[in-house]
Structure 1
């Protein structure tokens, strides 16, 4: 793969004679359908995520402490994702499993919307919603299979476009979810999430990928089942978890800090929260070109360092300017990680891309649980704003780890 300049855009063809990534997406039912499906996935889940504690407290009578424990159910997602990915790599049935996981999401969120007992959402989250999270990993595995048949420099940019659609859903979802909940109630908002989960199936319909993977025989080497083969992937994913663990800390306490300690106006608080995804989307198109120039691991090392400085801004710069600076830096973190992360994860386990995708994509659930626990304990021990020193420390560990990865021969050009 030839080096590109850092200003490369994903919509520009990399090589004369090859279609541009955007044209590839628009002319392929698989790629275009995957893009729409990922937007719907991000839209639905992000609409419900900020409202679920409120639903448990207001509709089901849970205490705040008990409702907070709901996020620990996300620990089931990496386990479910691993088994779905493993089965996908054995059978090659990417889109079939994607549809089953989407249906599981619809049934799960509908059951939560209909629940009248506080224990029901907890059980549903573990039994059904944990599997619904595997929809994205199956999509990215199917896209990888298709692109692998026709390799050229623009392929990674196709993945980036689809990944940007997922991020786009996460930008729109919280605003839409809050609006629907305010206008029609929390249960209707949960039904909207359920419908979004089911609608993911529509853009792809009954499509079967042109690339037919042969199911692994019992005697074939199961690379995805080997702990040694997965060790680089698990190491990389663990470092990603450390960086991502800062997000639940930030979303749990940044608004409180800005309102109660800094006394910022609602308009300023909203602008601070909204600037991160804006910066993220601006940076995403250029991440691939920078990754080719600096090395993906090297660039993500820089991104983790931005995470350190972002959290230090939150902790040590008590003003609106400090909050904006922190959020702008965090936009840089996720503008890089959200594009390159899935690409590197699949490269680290090339013979089992569905397993790799599932492990990496579901790691955000593990990071959320870790961050929620660290934030809860940290705010009790350190208070505000010093609690943000914890995610700065986590990101600092990730900087060291990614720097070592960037120099390790076993990781090659990853």
Structure 2
């Protein structure tokens, strides 16, 4: 398998003295589009992560769903990859990144508002499957717009900008669960869900007066009725490297749904850890992730993105082995710190790699990559359920360890055929 030739020339990471002097933070502060994307992604992460842990209890307590039925709600996210692909393909045909982003954000507002005011159990399921699937594509459109801006105005440290915007999304996820729990306890779950709707809509505000650069493949006028062949719908052969990379990413991500489903149960029911200690163990991962994301970009410039991701997948293997075998709080802390290393790399670099593997259709690439989390969550839920029924706790964590081994081997194989911009960081 060979990556497209265009990948070699796509968005090079500029090195040397100029790059060292010009920081990603300075670029974000200087560039209106980068500032807007950073604020929007923080609001996106804040809103969604506030609702995600509360939705099952809302279905049970407010709409009287049984626990099994409430669990089925998460399967509605399986429509997200389809919706994301449709939006991404439309974006690549028209070049209207921010216009589609605004439409997706409005869809998110309407969707979460509909769930907040639902009176029948079927309503959240239908709204989530039909409306929120398109809302999830908003994030991919922002990263596609960032790609276009970087291609139009290349500067040293641009890949660091992508990492900083991704850090803002992660920062929202750090704050959101606690904020959502507090608001739900104070004002009720319906108010909390409507607050999520407002956060989703508020993503539009930083972009109200912003215009994105035209996609490089389409030329300067994105309103043209006929676009060059470079923006034609990519075939399977063109998409194969991206699809393989996304599948390997899903193997890594599947471990998260297994971990969040069973690690709290293991800590409380079997290890008898206090709630405060259990919370500290869970909370250490995003802190490590945030700290390591800028470092991941710095190291990738010297070692190559794919090589660094192989190492990160290896961290995932070690982390899950810690969960499965340690039996102590110290071992679980070590596992979570290693997982912070996994996501410090994949969160910072994953979207960049995905776009470079399909450089002629970056919105499609962004949408496929970003929406793969829904499929990987379903994969992890199925594998974790079968695993815990077969080998129990804590050995179920050997299942995501195996997934991480598959990812590491697959990434190592891909790195042999990937273009120079992925293997050398240039």
TM class by shorter chain equals: over 0.9
Using the alignment, how far apart are the partners of 1:194 and 1:292 within structure 2? 38
Is the Cα contact below 8 Å between 1:306 and 1:329 reproduced in 2? yes
Corresponding residue number in structure 1 for 2:3: none
**Residue among 402, 408, 414 paired with 1:405:** 414
Partner of 1:89: 92
- Aligned: 1:155 with 2:158: yes
1:68 corresponds to which residue?
Answer: 71
Which residue is equivalent to 2:60?
57
Count of residues paired in the alignment = 406
Alignment partners' CA distance in 2, 1:188 and 1:299: 42
State the partner residue of 2:7.
none
Matched, 1:310 2:315: no
Greater mean deviation of Cα atoms: 22-31 or 249-258: 22-31
Q: Indicate if the aligned counterparts of 1:143 and 1:159 stay in contact, CA closer than 8 A.
A: yes
Counterpart of 1:8 in structure 2 is none
Q: 1:374 aligns with which of 383, 400, 405?
A: 383
CA RMSD of aligned residues (A): 1.8
1:186 to 178, 186, 189: 189
Tell me the residue number matched to 2:282. Answer: 273
Q: Tell me the alpha carbon deviations over residues 150-179 of structure 1, each in whole angstroms, 9 at most, x when there is no partner.
A: 223311111111111001001111111111
Aligned position for 2:133:
130
CA shift digits 1:78-113 (9 cap, x unpaired): 110011000000000000000000000000000000
Q: What is the Cα deviation at residue 29 of structure 1?
A: 1.6
Q: TM-score by structure 2 length?
A: 0.92
Listed as ranges, the matches of 1:37-48 within 5 Å are 37-48=40-51
Secondary structure (helix, strand or coil) at the match of 2:125 reads: helix
Answer yes or no: is the 8 Å Cα contact 2:13–2:158 preserved in 1. Answer: no
TM-score, length of structure 1 as denominator length: 0.94
Structure 1 residue 387 corresponds to structure 2 residue 396: yes
Structure 2 vs 1, CA of residues 127 and 411 (structure 1 numbering), >3 Å: closer, same or farther? farther
SS at match of 1:331: helix
Residue ranges of structure 2 left out of the alignment (5+ in a row): 1-11, 215-219
CA distance in 2, matches of 1:152, 1:216: 31
Q: Partners in 2 of 1:202 and 1:163 — Cα distance?
A: 19
Aligned partners of 2:92 and 2:364 also within 8 Å: yes
Q: Deviations over 1:373-395 (max 9, x none)?
A: 21222222221111111111111
The answer as to whether partners of 2:180 and 2:192 remain within 8 angstroms in 1 is: yes
Q: Is the 8 A contact 2:14 2:155 kept in 1?
A: no
Instruction: For 1:13 and 1:197, locate their aligned partners in 2 and report how far apart those are by CA, in whole Å.
Output: 37
Instruction: Give per-residue Cα distances to partners, 1:105-135, cap 9 Å, x unaligned.
Output: 0000000000111111111011110001011
After TM superposition, list the pairs within 5 Å mapping 1:216-235 onto structure 2: 217=226, 220-235=229-244
Indicate conservation of the 8 Å contact 2:323/2:397, yes or no.
yes
Aligned residues of 1:224 and 1:349 also touching (Cα < 8 A) = no
Give the distance between the partners of 1:41 and 1:86, measured in 2 at CA.
22
- Contact kept, 8 Å, 1:295 with 1:406, in 2: the verdict is no
1:107 maps onto 2:110 in alignment: yes
Which residue matches 1:327? 336
Deviation string 1:299-324 (CA, Å, 9 cap, x unpaired) is 10110110011011111111101110
SS of alignment partner, residue 154 of structure 2 = coil
> 1:339 & 1:388 partners in 2: Cα distance?
25
| CA 101–386 in structure 1, closer or farther in 2 if over 3 Å, else same | same
Change (3 A) 1:411 1:271: same
Counterpart contact for 2:250–2:372, Cα < 8 Å = yes
1:20 is aligned to 23
The 8 Å contact of residues 223 and 229 in structure 1, kept in 2 or not, is answered as no
- Alpha-carbon offset, residue 220 of structure 1: 2.5
